[in-house]
Chains A and B, each alone.
Chain A
């Protein structure tokens, strides 16, 4: 999100493209947050820490040996 607008709207930027969308469905979003947009509405915020953790997990899982497979940590809810 790059700019907040009145009436529960905001401007989002994706790779240089800017578009106005509704943020009425999410609370507490601020400029510089990343949001997931669907049919013109932000429906959720992306948690940057979790994003990093997920990417790290991909890398880890990809690099693991067959022997380590059984001993891996589960990612649970």
Chain B
């Protein structure tokens, strides 16, 4: 056995990422050990392999989902790119009715990125993963030259297992089904926008980023077979998500504007910026489509859960060959809620 030479620990206060950290040598190993492993620490990672191996129940149906995170700025009121990357993928898995089991995380770091900021991001991820009960069991790091990245881009992939008899899909909505929403819309987008230099407005709105899998579990338990569709309205907002589902299921929808909850400050920010909250991103909310018989039970289960306290019915699914999502406006008129055209603002998620 060779003697271990003294290796100066990473300077987490003043150090910066350099090309060496991505080269796969000692420098990279040190980054992995002192920063990533120290934060994520679990038996899988301690094995030291390039991948992780885990058992699955016999005959189980698995779910896999992946998400890339390029939000700018990296830190915003209520969250950061790290928390987003954990919540986003945990939620994608949960939206298929699965119990999330494990995550992988891949980092593309920009040369010059401050280690202190990376540590903040990684610690935040570790905390989010711990609180969600979903460990990060494998990962990768690459470094790109200064100017070719934006601090850090994170990609996470999650796996989960679906219980017998659970079939959640965007194709399942049927005319007569009920549309439920777990809470206020637009919080995340507005929180991120408030930190964009060009916009500069002061607000106390925080991102709603959260892991929704326990909420989903409560909903499925409350009405077995009753929940047909689940989706979290991230980029493009509620409007985009509903249009996607309408297209997938071949149905139409009618919403009641008065029922859709929007926090007053979010409403004001959207007013100021000329945005429609229906198209603003969310990171801790979900839409559920249930059979009419199960709606009351599902809604009650949502309202009983901390992440669904403001859950409400927002509309119904209809027969419509054109797959329009329509809305009865609070003003008394009716309009179509169409797909988002172009982009509202870039790099929200």
- Residue numbers of A with Cβ under 8 A of B are 14-20, 37
> Chain B contacts of A14 at CB under 8 A?
268, 271-272
Please name all residues of chain B whose beta carbon is closer than 8 Å to the beta carbon of A16 when the two chains form the complex: 203-204, 264-265, 268
With both chains docked as a complex, state the minimum distance between the C-beta of B103 and any C-beta of chain A, in angstroms. Answer: 35
The answer to whether B201 touches A19, judged by C-beta atoms less than 8 angstroms apart, is yes
Q: What is the CA–CA distance of A17 and B266 in the complex, to the nearest angstrom? A: 8
- Where chain B touches its partner, the secondary structure class is helix
Tally of contacts, chain A with chain B, CB under 8 A:
29
Mark interface residues in B172-203 (1 if CB within 8 Å of A CB, else 0).
00000000000000000000000000001111
Q: How far is the CB of A6 from chain B (nearest CB, A)?
A: 17
Q: How far does the alpha carbon of A17 sit from the alpha carbon of B203 in the complex, in Å?
A: 5
Bound complex: CA A60 to CA B272 (Å): 31
Beta-carbon contact of A19 and B202 below 8 Å = yes
User: From A16, which residue of chain B is reached at the shortest CB distance?
Assistant: B265
Chain B contributes a number of interface residues (CB within 8 A of A) equal to 12
Point out the residues of chain A lying under 8 angstroms from B201, CB to CB. 17-19
* B229 sits at the interface (CB 8 A): no
Give me the 5 closest cross-chain CB pairs, A-B, nearest first.
A15-B268, A19-B201, A18-B202, A16-B265, A17-B268
**B interface, CB within 8 angstroms of A:** 200-204, 264-265, 267-269, 271-272
> Can you name 11 A-B residue pairings with CB atoms under 8 Å?
A14-B268, A14-B272, A15-B271, A16-B203, A17-B203, A17-B269, A18-B201, A19-B200, A19-B202, A19-B272, A20-B200
Residue in chain B with minimal CB distance to A11? B202
Indicate if the CB atoms of B200 and A17 lie closer than 8 Å: no
Chain A residues whose C-beta falls within 8 Å of the C-beta of B200 in the assembled complex: 19-20
Which residues of B lie under 8 Å from residue A18 when comparing CB positions? 201-203
Q: Please name all residues of chain B whose beta carbon is closer than 8 Å to the beta carbon of A19 when the two chains form the complex.
A: 200-202, 272
CA distance A17 to B265 in the complex (A): 6
**Residues of chain B with a CB closer than 8 A to A20's CB:** 200
Nearest to A37 among chain B residues (CB) is B272
Q: Which residues of B contact A17 (CB under 8 A)?
A: 201-203, 265, 268-269, 272
